[in-house]
């Protein structure tokens, strides 16, 4: 069950991947249905959610993690869905992504197990089913790069931290 307000820490993709995913999302949005996902944040993989009281502790942890970890690649392999309400791109969980998640492994917001994903759209089942048909036609597996970690407060959405991972060790 979602809490009133919470923090989410997430891994963000490189700008080229952002552009490709925005293009894919735009084609889905052009179907003209009403969608419910948060549109004003970058495409990302959520790593964990936390109570708002953890904000300062998480800012320090994010800074440290970004300082100690380098950019890495993930394979965005397919379109998948959560209960015909959420359509997402599913990555292959490699060691780097798994290790990054373990550093922020907490699920305060809704209690579900972690499932790495980057949401494309969410909405009503009928609309999502139509969008899935389109996405299955236009999506091609691709390599993406994880370039940073961000933290936002939800709801309403407020970005708090954006840090880049080290480029090299």
Look up the pTM and report it: 0.93
pLDDT of residue 18 exceeding 60: yes
Using alpha carbons, list the distances in angstroms from residue 128 to 24, 39, 46: 14, 16, 21
> Domain spanning 6-164: which CATH class is it, in words?
alpha beta
Q: What percent of the chain has pLDDT over 70?
A: 97
pLDDT tens-digit series, residues 70-79: 999 999 999 9
**Who has greater pLDDT, 32 or 48?**
48
pLDDT of residue 17 exceeding 90: yes
pLDDT of residue 68 exceeding 90: yes
Assign 84 to helix, strand or coil.
coil
Angle among Cα 132, 134, 139 to the nearest 5 degrees reads: 90
pLDDT score recorded for residue 52: 96
Domain boundaries, the chain: 6-164
């Amino acid at each position: 069950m979602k809490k009133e307000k919470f923090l989410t820490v997430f891994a963000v993709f490189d700008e080229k991947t952002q552009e490709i995913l925005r293009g894919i999302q735009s084609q889905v949005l052009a179907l003209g249905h009403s969608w419910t996902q948060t549109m004003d944040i970058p495409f990302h993989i959520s790593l964990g959610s936390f109570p708002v009281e953890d904000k300062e502790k998480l800012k320090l942890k994010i800074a440290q993690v970004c300082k100690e970890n380098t950019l890495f690649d993930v394979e965005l392999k397919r379109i998948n869905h959560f209960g015909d309400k959420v359509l997402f791109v599913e990555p292959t969980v490699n060691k780097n992504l798994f290790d990054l998640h373990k550093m922020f492994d907490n699920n305060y917001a809704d209690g579900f197990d972690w499932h790495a994903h980057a949401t494309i759209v969410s909405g009503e089942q009928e609309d999502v089913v139509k969008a899935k048909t389109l996405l299955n036609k236009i999506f091609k597996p691709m390599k993406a790069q994880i370039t940073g970690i961000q933290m936002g407060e939800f709801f309403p959405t407020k970005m708090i931290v954006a840090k880049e991972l080290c480029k090299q060790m």
